[in-house]
Amino acid sequence: MKTKKAFIRHLNVLYVFILVAVLGIAVFSCKKTNPDNRIQQAYDLRMNGNADSALVLLDVVLAEDSTNALALYEIARTMHHIGLGNPRQLFGGLGDMQDLIGKAVENDPDNVIYKFYQGYLSYLGAYIAFMQQQPDASEKVKDVVEVYESVLDQKPDYNEATLYLVEILSVPKNMGGDSLKAQEYANKLVEMDAVFGAKATELLLPDSVNRVEFWHNVLEANQGNAEVLEQLGKAYLYKDSVNMGIKYLEEAMKADPEKDILLMDIARFYLMSSRGDSLKTELFLPDAEIMVNRYLETEPIKPLKAYVYSIMAWVKDGLGKTEEVEIMRDMATEIDPNVSKAFGLPPLVLFASPEEISHYYGYFSRPF
């Protein structure tokens, strides 16, 4: 196995050298090469499990023009992608990623794509500060708010940005939160979009409020809405009402087949619930394996496919199938050497095409 891995690494290195050589010839022989085409090529490389090679290509583009905002944005996302496979590298390189996306925004201030991702990276920095109880966490919250507000200055109907504002402002006051301001943004969402408004309202509900009942009331006014069905299903899961939770999540996927990523939320719920409970391990993990296999049948993009195999390794480990654990991990790294080591889903904002406005929203305050 080690020999095989070494051979694959050798091929990857050789590939990079060949890529650089080809690029050098291309730059020398055709000065009018559209840099945006190469950025798209770098993105395609990354989506096909070659993030390291993508970074080499992007560095060439940036060396030619250090103000290329699209290249700066894509380098930041590529570093983020690579960092998911190496958490220390992610945490250590977050400042560099923020600098890169900051320069992208500076060089193209009217591009909301860059600002939205800048907001996500700022939120990630604040989240890490919360987890590590850093003394400057409240200052980082101010940075997050400032960036997302700049997004809304340019695109007032960017509901995902508003919802991130509600979530970050709902943290305790001593951590930088502002409940009144959070409520103001929640009220704006209620006026603009019933479902996003409900999500924002629910974020601010006291713990004593029954969230299952809340989402049932929202569903009555929004029959068949996939987003509401998803939130209702997850509300049931948080109450450990598994059968009802799965029922509504399945209905959400029927209402919107593009929500098949929910299969991985279900699988992760089973994994989380089975820890330290032998009875639940026996009951839930076979179903987790079924959910993972169902998602694999949807033929996800390679970074997600690799992640799914890494989650399958966790499932196999829980089932005691130790001989299959390493097989799953090897399959994951073969598909994407930078496969995410995190338990949570990789942020889908990383996988939108370079010039696509992302509508990804993932809670920082919840596991799914």
pLDDT, tens digit (0-9, with 9 covering 90-100), for 167-178: 999 999 999 999
Percent of the chain beyond pLDDT 70? Answer: 90
Residue 30 has pLDDT above 90, yes or no: no
In angstroms, rounded to a whole number, what is the distance separating the alpha carbons of residues 244 and 232?
9
**Per-residue confidence at 3, pLDDT binned at 50, 70, 90?**
very low
User: How far lies 78's CA from each of 57, 96, 212, 335, 351, in Å?
Assistant: 11, 12, 38, 16, 10
In angstroms, rounded to a whole number, what is the distance separating the alpha carbons of residues 237 and 212?
10
Structure tokens at 316: 């196999």
In angstroms, rounded to a whole number, what is the distance separating the alpha carbons of residues 99 and 107?
12
Q: Span 111-204: which CATH code?
A: 1.25.40
pLDDT (0 to 100) of residue 34: 59
Average pLDDT on 137-145 reads: 96
In angstroms, rounded to a whole number, what is the distance separating the alpha carbons of residues 167 and 365?
8
Residue 20 has pLDDT above 60, yes or no: no
Cα–Cα nearest to 185, from 209, 201, 202, 205: 201
Q: What is the CA radius of gyration of the chain?
A: 22
pLDDT (0 to 100) of residue 229: 98
Helix (H, G, I), strand (E, B) or coil at 155: coil
8 A C-beta contact, residue 263 and residue 294 = yes
CATH level 2 (architecture), domain 15-109: Alpha Horseshoe (1.25)
pLDDT (0 to 100) of residue 13: 35
Residue 32 has pLDDT above 50, yes or no: no
Structure tokens at 51: 């993030």
Which residue did the predictor score with more confidence, 76 or 10? 76
Residue 90 has pLDDT above 60, yes or no: yes
Residue 74 has pLDDT above 80, yes or no: yes
In angstroms, rounded to a whole number, what is the distance separating the alpha carbons of residues 133 and 171?
13
Contacts with 343 (C-beta within 8 Å, 6 or more apart), sequence order? 268, 271, 311, 314
In angstroms, rounded to a whole number, what is the distance separating the alpha carbons of residues 296 and 312?
10
Residue 6 has pLDDT above 50, yes or no: no
In angstroms, rounded to a whole number, what is the distance separating the alpha carbons of residues 183 and 170?
9
In angstroms, rounded to a whole number, what is the distance separating the alpha carbons of residues 98 and 118?
7
**Per-residue confidence at 16, pLDDT binned at 50, 70, 90?**
very low
190-204, 216-230, 276-290, 352-366: the lowest-pLDDT one: 276-290
Residue 24 has pLDDT above 80, yes or no: no
211-215, 275-279, 288-292: the lowest-pLDDT one: 275-279
Phi, psi values for residue 41, rounded to 5°? -65, -40
Structure tokens at 191: 């006026």
pLDDT (0 to 100) of residue 35: 62
pLDDT (0 to 100) of residue 278: 86
**Tokens 């995190």 sit on residue:** 342
DSSP state, residue 349: G
Q: How many helices (H) and strands (E) does the chain have?
A: 17, 0
Residue 162 has pLDDT above 90, yes or no: yes
8 A C-beta contact, residue 161 and residue 151 = yes
pLDDT (0 to 100) of residue 36: 76
In angstroms, rounded to a whole number, what is the distance separating the alpha carbons of residues 316 and 312?
6
8 A C-beta contact, residue 351 and residue 47 = yes
pLDDT (0 to 100) of residue 12: 42
Average pLDDT on 77-86 reads: 97
Class of domain 207-259: mainly alpha
8 A C-beta contact, residue 164 and residue 148 = yes
